Amino acid sequence: NTSKEREREREMRETTARRAAGLLWRTTTTAAWGSKVRGGTGGGGTNRSSSSITAPSSPLGTTSAKNGIIFHRRFYYNSLRRATTIGGEGGLTTTTRSRRHRFHHPSSQSSFFMVKTLTSSPSKPTEQQNKPTPMRELRDEFLNANSVAYLEEMEKRFKEEGGEIGMDKSWSTLLQSLDKGMTGKELSSMWEDAKNGNAPVARERRATPSSSTAPSEVTSDLIQESMRLLLLVRAYQTAGHEMATLDPLGMGKKSVNVSLDPELYGFTEKDLDREFFLGTWRMKGFLAEDQPYWTLRDILSRLRETYCGNIGYEYMHIMDREKCNWLREQIETPTQKGYKPERKKILFERLARAELFETFLSNKYTAAKRFGLEGCETLIPGFEEAVDRAADLGVKNINIGMPHRGRLNVLANVIRKPLQTIFNEFKGGPKPTGELGLSGSQYTGSGDVKYHLGTSVVTRRGVNQDKKVQLSLLANPSHLEAVDTVVIGKCAARQFYTKDYEKETVIPVLLHGDGAFSGQGIVYETLDMSQLPEYHVGGTLHIVVNNQVAFTTDPKHSRSSMYCTDVAKCIEAPVFHVNGDDVEAVAWVMQLALEWRQKFKADAVVDIVCYRKFGHNEIDEPMFTQPLMYKVIKKHVSAHQQYAEKLVKEGVLTADEVKAKHTEILKELDTEFEMSKNYVPKFRDWVSSHWQGFKSPDQFASIRNTGVDPQVLREVGAKITEIPETFTPHKIVKRVYDARRKMFETGENVDWATAEMLAFGTLLNEGNHVRLSGQDVERGTFSHRHAVIKDQSTGERFVPLRNLYRDKIAEKGLKYFTVCNSSLSEFGVLGFELGYSLDNPNSLVIWEAQFGDFANSAQVIIDQFISSGEAKWLRQTGLTLLLPHGYDGQGPEHSSARLERFLQMSDEDPRVVPDMSQTKRLAIQGTNWQICNVTTPANYFHLLRRQIHRDYRKPLIVMSPKNLLRHPKCLSPLSEFDDVDSLTDAQGTRFKRLIMDKTAKVRGLTNIPVEDHVQRLVFCSGKVYYELDAEREALKAEDTIKICRIEQLAPFPWDLVERELKRYPNAEVVWCQEEPLNMGAYTHVDQRIRTLFKHLGKEGELKYAGRNQAASPSTGYGSVHAEEQIKLIKDALVL
């Protein structure tokens, strides 16, 4: 052929192939199958109810000149029925496994065609299957087509009858136009015009000199071939990961999805060296327009290298075309990616350090549990590559959460915690207090095992190791995934404080086990929060260390999905499965996932398929439960040894260089081990610059006043009740804000919600960040807060508390005050807020439960982190929990926040009266947390402010009220909020741990006036006080019965309770509560009152007035509740 003829042939191929592409993407997705095949599946699920599924197949093969132009419909219908369905971002996804044709691997890796060894016979119809409708009974028009079977019937009748009999004219015109060579572009235009009613249903193509002489059979074949190849590429993109060589042990027997067989698409070995056109509009990768021509051999080779090698890519479930194209551009390269020799040497050294570290520990501590990384050592060089890439992309802080497997290795080789520190921790106990160098503190806490501990280290990273990055690993209990949202919350706080509004410089990384990732619900809660406005941190890099066994449970017994990572598809996260023995593949996907996170600010998942060399721990026997797997593992060569041999073979390293590097690493480990013998801790690694100066539990901290200048109170009150004139709030909300404004103007009757807003407002005014989250917190579960109000005309949001800094938003940030409704989660959201509180002490962070009863859904966070975090890990937090609590007839699930559980976990000793003198008392800061049940708005105000105005941080648990929110007597004058002290004030200038009887006048601990005529002293806590007081008034017994409110139950107000016992020496002492005998605070208070009785030499015992013991917190019957309430009040007051 002359060059001119070759060029003409090439142009013809491109034109006809583009015509096919246009027909596929416009006709098939828009018209030909319609809504039934698409089925509204969104992500591309198979629609089993479509009649196309049950219609008989049409034979594949060549078509005549007359009907060749419409081949693509028949072919595509058949392949759709066999293996694929329309979905994803305009692409194809494979059907579920139950619908696949099964094929074994090809016998040779060099073979391009799969040998079919299993034949599928047509399945017999069942009662559950849809019966096909006879073709002649179907009626449809082109514009409304929704049945593949109907389309095929139209084609058949057009061939046999020429479209003259029994066929809608729209179909006749369309098929005639296609036979005459109508292009995809013209068909698309025709479809849009017809749909919009602007043109006839079909238009015939005008003949041109160049096209009139083109052989129609050649055009038809070219279209058919290009379309079939396009489908084959799509099949690899969607299902290629199923053929990837992911298991380093090679134990899995894989069956091939039929859609990956080239024979399905009509190709034979004769076609291997033919050139095909694959260019597709606005597509990247193998289908890109800028490289449209491929031979079948080349495209098959690259498809298998890319999608069926040691990496399995899952991304076709992502709906966004830009994201898919970006991934295709990274993945589908003309040639395989690879590392340069110098980078391979770095990967080798990091892999060697990972393995030799584990070997060294195994030799030195033969009987110790360490949950080593053997079998997944490639995690270390892969993780380090991700960190280096992150540094080069501008990341300055990486917060990490992970379970115990491999934790020591990550600490040593990724975070680079000093090795002597790690070796020292193997000694199994704290240093004697005399040897500690903790800035004056001798507090060591109760400690935790070494593989739960965290640290924070600043190192130089990046490809050239020239950029500073802080890596922080959070401490985590054995509750594997519990730390997930804690890490995310800490990241969110760091992003806020560093003004990283673009989420570029602070990123979270979470490591998971395969069983935990698929099995623990907190993983889904974490993923679900990832794109919520007030919880979004710009995406998380998830790394799954996939042992292919969960403790001792095989995957088929631990999950129902194909992959342990399938849950991540719910947020359209890309998933990169990788063979854990291929260090270069692991490093590549780790970088790819990191780059995805930085570009799209979304989660990505790396699934490192590996194995666990030993059992669940080093002294476990895995042959009990996985004998076949561990027979293979015993013979398996480590990834480090494999890579060393590979580099020697490639000439990158010599055997002597490998040996020298091993010697160097082992010498370094020995040196650090010897130094660890005399290692002394120099500081607490949890103390960042923000935490400097805060006291430990054994260091005395003075008490500060929390009252505010009266003038400031009024100024703040005016600002936080101001609503713009152009804003249209709901009429009830407007009345609420008008009433609040009046409270500040008159200084009287401040209610609970207003006191809370005033606490927030004054803290903001003093330069403290405030964050409140939980279910329905913007309005408040009980419609009392209205911190966010909505314009009734436009729906616009307005946050009155932001009036305090509206002119300083550029400096402070819009979210300086944040109040946000959360997802319907307790575990995940509470973990997030805990993490948020850990970053900076100068913030009030609050989580409010919808009802206190629901807090037990977050019990893991409460037990493992909040109550014990400081004792185990020396981590302080000022997190506040608001748990609505109180008995008002709402039944067992809306009455109790389980106060008794929190009190039981208090670490205060009830047997000893502590020294409560002003200069020595450590009881408050020495206890693990504070538990309060407050009864006045003013005391609530001071309680919240106390969280910030002190030299240490403690978690605060508040049994917050429900009916006190609108109780006519639960009000405080504004004078009780100010900083003007008066001995006659009920409140004073700070939080009152105990509020004495309303008739008492002297608050001092000395020279207490004795009232020996009082016959009964009732101690109580919470809303029951108001009922007791009302009944006492009715009995006219204020002179003989006194009621004291214990506002802070833990740490117990020993000194104040002792004062009241001295004030009323002859009184019978009663504890009154609404909860049953075996719940509430009775047991907690009884133990301490007994100790005080003994201390004072007082005889008698604490009497109980409350509900009888019960399994359920409360009755579900309103009448029974009322009877019980009357009885407990009577028991408390009637002498």
Give the pLDDT of residue 114.
47
- Spatial neighbors of 963 by CB under 8 A, at least 6 apart, are 886, 888, 1023
Q: Which has the closest alpha carbon to 91: 29, 41, 159, 49?
A: 29
Under 8 Å between Cβ of 475 and 868: no
Task: Please give the average per-residue pLDDT across 693-715, as a whole number.
Answer: 87
Give the pLDDT of residue 192.
57
Q: Which helix (H) or strand (E) holds 577?
A: strand 575-579
Task: Please give the average per-residue pLDDT across 108-129, as a whole number.
Answer: 39
Give the pLDDT of residue 166.
54
pLDDT in tens, 256-311: 788 899 988 888 899 899 888 777 767 778 877 677 788 899 999 999 999 999 99
Decide if pLDDT at 213 tops 90. Answer: no
Rounded CA-CA distance 8/14 in Å is 10
Q: Of 21-30, 225-234, 871-880, where does mean pLDDT reach its minimum?
A: 21-30
Residue type, 596: W
pLDDT in tens, 998-1022: 999 888 888 899 999 999 999 999 9
Give the pLDDT of residue 196.
52
Tokens of 519: 């099995």
Q: Which has the closest alpha carbon to 681: 434, 901, 922?
A: 434
Q: Which has the closest alpha carbon to 456: 695, 691, 698?
A: 691
3-class DSSP state of 215: coil
Tokens of 617: 């721990």
Decide if pLDDT at 434 tops 50. Answer: no
Rounded CA-CA distance 331/669 in Å is 39
Cα Rg for the chain, rounded, in angstroms? 36
Asked if omega into 1065 is within 30° of 0 (cis), the reply is: no
Task: Please give the average per-residue pLDDT across 673-679, as a whole number.
Answer: 85
- Spatial neighbors of 438 by CB under 8 A, at least 6 apart, are 681, 683, 684, 696
Give the pLDDT of residue 174.
66
Task: Please give the average per-residue pLDDT across 632-646, as a whole number.
Answer: 93
Rounded CA-CA distance 776/139 in Å is 52
Give the pLDDT of residue 456.
87
3-class DSSP state of 1042: strand
Decide if pLDDT at 488 tops 80. Answer: yes
Give the pLDDT of residue 74.
40
Q: Which has the closest alpha carbon to 510: 534, 528, 529, 527?
A: 527
1075 — phi, psi (to 5°)? -75, 160
pLDDT bin (cut points 50, 70, 90) of residue 207 is very low
Rounded CA-CA distance 871/387 in Å is 31
Tokens of 1068: 């019978």
Query: For 91, what's the count of Cα atoms within 13 Å in the CB-facing half-sphere?
Result: 31
How many beta carbons lie within 10 A of that of residue 906, not counting itself? Answer: 20
Q: Which helix (H) or strand (E) holds 456?
A: strand 455-461
pLDDT bin (cut points 50, 70, 90) of residue 93 is very low
Burial group, residue 340, by CB count within 10 angstroms (0-12, 13-18, 19+): exposed
Q: Of 175-184, 228-237, 428-437, 705-714, where does mean pLDDT reach its minimum?
A: 428-437
Task: Please give the average per-residue pLDDT across 850-862, as a whole number.
Answer: 93
3-state DSSP percent of the chain in helix, strand and coil, to 5 = 45, 10, 45
Burial group, residue 727, by CB count within 10 angstroms (0-12, 13-18, 19+): middle
155 — phi, psi (to 5°)? -65, -45
How do beta strands 789-790 and 541-546 pair?
A: unpaired
Whole-angstrom CA distances from 295 to 10, 275, 279, 287, 328 are 14, 4, 13, 13, 19
- Spatial neighbors of 434 by CB under 8 A, at least 6 apart, are none
Tokens of 849: 């439960």
Q: What DSSP string runs through 289-356?
A: TTS-EEEHHHHHHHHHHHHSSSEEEE-TT---HHHHHHHHHHH--SS-----HHHHHHHHHHHHHHHH
Give the pLDDT of residue 1112.
95
Rounded CA-CA distance 182/187 in Å is 7
Rounded CA-CA distance 1060/857 in Å is 38
- 1045 DSSP β-pair partners: 995, 1020
- Output 990 or 505, whichever has higher pLDDT: 505
Give the pLDDT of residue 163.
55
Q: Which has the closest alpha carbon to 310: 377, 243, 374, 375?
A: 243
Q: Which helix (H) or strand (E) holds 92?
A: strand 91-94
Query: To the nearest 10°, the Cα dihedral for 341, 345, 348, 350?
Result: -130
Task: Please give the average per-residue pLDDT across 731-742, as a whole number.
Answer: 96
Q: What DSSP string runs through 651-714?
A: TSS-HHHHHHHHHHHHHHHHHHHHHHTT----S-TT--GGGTTPPPTTS--------B-HHHHH
For 776, which DSSP code? T
Give the pLDDT of residue 477.
85
Cα(first)–Cα(last) distance of the chain, in Å?
A: 118
| 859 conformational bin, left if phi > 0, alpha if psi -120 to 50, beta if neither | alpha
Q: Of 326-335, 528-537, 614-623, 984-993, where does mean pLDDT reach its minimum?
A: 984-993
Q: Of 609-613, 710-714, 753-757, where does mean pLDDT reach its minimum?
A: 609-613
Rounded CA-CA distance 578/605 in Å is 11
Rounded CA-CA distance 992/1130 in Å is 27
Give the pLDDT of residue 371.
80
pLDDT in tens, 953-985: 999 999 999 999 999 999 999 999 998 866 545
Q: Which has the closest alpha carbon to 488: 459, 527, 450, 440?
A: 527
Over the chain, what is the mean pLDDT?
A: 81
Decide if pLDDT at 56 tops 80. Answer: no
Give the pLDDT of residue 935.
97
Give the pLDDT of residue 511.
95
pLDDT in tens, 1053-1084: 999 999 999 999 999 999 999 999 999 999 99
Rounded CA-CA distance 541/483 in Å is 14
Task: Please give the average per-residue pLDDT across 173-185, as a whole number.
Answer: 65
Whole-angstrom CA distances from 71 to 29, 155, 210 are 17, 10, 23
Under 8 Å between Cβ of 785 and 801: no
Decide if pLDDT at 905 tops 60. Answer: yes
Under 8 Å between Cβ of 266 and 60: yes
| Full-model pTM | 0.81
- Output 749 or 1, whichever has higher pLDDT: 749
Decide if pLDDT at 42 tops 60. Answer: no
Q: Which has the closest alpha carbon to 377: 416, 346, 343, 413?
A: 413
Percent of the chain with pLDDT over 70: 76
Q: Of 47-51, 853-857, 937-941, where does mean pLDDT reach its minimum?
A: 47-51
pLDDT bin (cut points 50, 70, 90) of residue 796 is very high
pLDDT bin (cut points 50, 70, 90) of residue 551 is confident
91 — phi, psi (to 5°)? -110, -150
pLDDT bin (cut points 50, 70, 90) of residue 34 is very low
Give the pLDDT of residue 55.
29
Residue type, 731: K
How many beta carbons lie within 10 A of that of residue 4, not counting itself? Answer: 8
Q: Which has the closest alpha carbon to 779: 856, 843, 724, 848?
A: 848
CA triplet 774, 776, 777: central angle to 5 degrees?
60
Query: For 898, what's the count of Cα atoms within 13 Å in the CB-facing half-sphere?
Result: 16
Residue type, 1008: I
Residue type, 1095: H
Give the pLDDT of residue 71.
36
For 1038, which DSSP code? T
pLDDT in tens, 385-423: 999 999 999 999 999 999 988 899 999 999 998 898 888
Whole-angstrom CA distances from 1111 to 335, 451, 696, 911 are 68, 38, 40, 28
Q: What DSSP string runs through 834-880?
A: HHHHHH-SSEEEEEE-SSGGGGGGGHHIIIIIITTHHHHH------E
- Output 133 or 447, whichever has higher pLDDT: 447
